Structure formats: structure tokens, C-alpha cells
Amino acid sequence: MRRICSRPLFLFGMALPAMVAAGCSPGALPGSPSPIGAVGGAARYDGTLTFQRVSGGFQLNAAARKLDLSIVLGTGDQLSGRFAAGDTTGTLLASLDGTMSSGHFQGTILVSTPATAGGATSICEGRGQVSGEFSGRNVSWTASDIRYDNCPGLLVGSQAQAIAVSPVPGAFGGGANVVVSVLPGANVREGRCPAGGSGWAFTVLVAENAGIDVRLDPAFAVEQRPATGPAIRTTFDTPFTVLAGGARREYEVCAPLAGTYQAFFSGTDARGNRVRFASPVVSLLP
């Protein structure tokens, strides 16, 4: 049965009345599993992940963790990754320059890991910028500025090294798997907004790939970086709060100024797992 979803128009994160209703067929991760070769499509990797506390009154496990990582290459060279490493889970959203056999990527890492302060342990939810490299079957990354909203003051660095073991992405923990991509791609040229006037128009596509329903939190965050001036982080009403298992939903954005756009979502899946995910960084080019 075809799923129907609304497509509200967002003006740099601000919701306007829904313009159209669009059919939303069951979705999957962008891209298809393929052999690990020159073009790359998807892969599962085994390796190690380490964290180093840079500052903050929290202690965390600095020992190397065994890393289970899956990455899929989607539309417009957008990488979507998911990983588990001992007591740590996370996601990776990045843009690739090259291939999954020879290329570099820059993006965002979201990570949840336990840390202790004052004798109490918390699950700290962090976000940082990540850069990495593919070389043959190997992948590595460095994230030097992971910060945690719910563990104030904690600043952490991270390194990962892994080798591809399968061209088929893995499943993690029996929970939902949500991936965000941007159409037509993460680099957007100035054009016209659907409601009129000049701007940078694109579509944010949110897909669940494990067949598990997700209820999103009622608000989501948008980080805007104009071409000049400081970053602006704003909270808006989530354009939809229910993402059915195996479905995809989308919303439209039309930004009025050059710079970058990135959205951050959170929610809970039908099995009680906490879910956090982000869009790729969208570059709004003059």
C-alpha cells in the first residue's frame, strides 16, 4: 500500500504551510550494496575506535574499542555511516570527494558513550566534525572536537581505523536505522524558491531502513552558517513526528542566503531505543 506524506516548505528552517501532498513509497538507505571496488557503493568494516578526553570534568574509557562500521554511498556523493564499538554507538554523515576505494570525506559524527563524573555515569550524546580517508579496503577518520550538550564541558577527540570485510551493510542492535540525505545533492546553487523570489531550494529526505517505526521528538535543531557572520542554531517544530518502519518522509527548504544548512533530529524507536541523526551539511553556493 502506498504511503502518503506531506511536504511542508521550510524557509531556512522556518515552516510554511504545506504546499503539496506527495506519495512516499517504502524507502531504503541511499545507494545499493555493491562489490568493494573503484566506484564503491556500500561496505561493512571491522576495526578499532578510540576516544581521548581533551577537557571537562568527566572520565571515559580511553581503551581501544572493537569497531563495527557500515557505510553507504548515496546520491550526490553523500556518505551515511552507522557504527557500534563496545559501549559506544554513533552515526556518520559526510560528503565524499573521490570513491570508497580512494577518496576523502568531511562531515559530522554523532556519538553516544558513557562517561563518569562525581561517581555517577551518564550516557553523553556528542556531536563533532570528522574528516577521513578511504584507501583500498581501508578507512580511517579523525574527529578532534566532539562536544556534548548533556555533559557540559566535555570535549573529546576520536580516531578510527578499519578494513572492509563485506559489501553488505550490517544491522545494529535490532533498532531503527534512520538516514538523512539531500536532493539533488549537498551542493546547491542559487535559484528560485517555490513560493517565489530568489533562494537556495532543496529537499531533505529522511528514510528508515530497518522496518522499525520511529517517533521523532517534537522539535529539531537547525544550524545555519551564513557566508559572513557567526553560526546560528535555532530550534523548530519537527515537520513530521512519525516515521514508519521502511518508509521515507521529506520536507522542502528554501534558504534566502548563501552559507550552509544542517538539521539535527532525535527520537525513540518502537523498541525503546534512543535515535539521533543529522542531515549532511548543505553548501549554499552563489
pLDDT band at 186; cut points 50, 70, 90 = confident
Torsion of CA 210, 212, 213, 214, to 10 degrees: -70
Domains, the chain, with CATH or none: 3-29+174-285 (2.60.40.1930), 42-166 (2.40.160)
Q: 233-265 pLDDT, tens per residue?
A: 999 999 999 999 999 999 999 988 899 999 999
Name which residue leads in pLDDT, 39 or 57.
57
**Rounded to an integer, what distance in angstroms lies between the CA atom of residue 72 and that of residue 93?**
10
String of DSSP letters for 203-245: EEEEEE-SS--EEE-SEEEEEEEESSS--EEEEEE-S-SEE-T
pLDDT > 90 fraction of the chain, expressed in percent and rounded? 57
DSSP-derived pairing of the beta strands 3-11 and 248-255: parallel
Select from 45, 32, 150 the least CA-distant residue to 92.
45
pLDDT band at 85; cut points 50, 70, 90 = very high
pLDDT > 70 fraction of the chain, expressed in percent and rounded? 85
Ramachandran angles phi, psi of 76, nearest 5°: 65, 30
Ramachandran angles phi, psi of 158, nearest 5°: -145, 145
Judged against a pLDDT cut of 60, whether residue 21 lies above it is answered with no
Classify 165 as helix, strand or coil: strand
Burial class of residue 124, CB neighbours in 10 A (0-12, 13-18, 19+): buried
Span 163-186, mean pLDDT? 83
**Rounded to an integer, what distance in angstroms lies between the CA atom of residue 58 and that of residue 112?**
14
Answer whether 126's CB lies under 8 Å from 276's CB.
Answer: no
Q: Which residues pair with 262 in a beta bridge?
A: 223
Name which residue leads in pLDDT, 35 or 279.
279
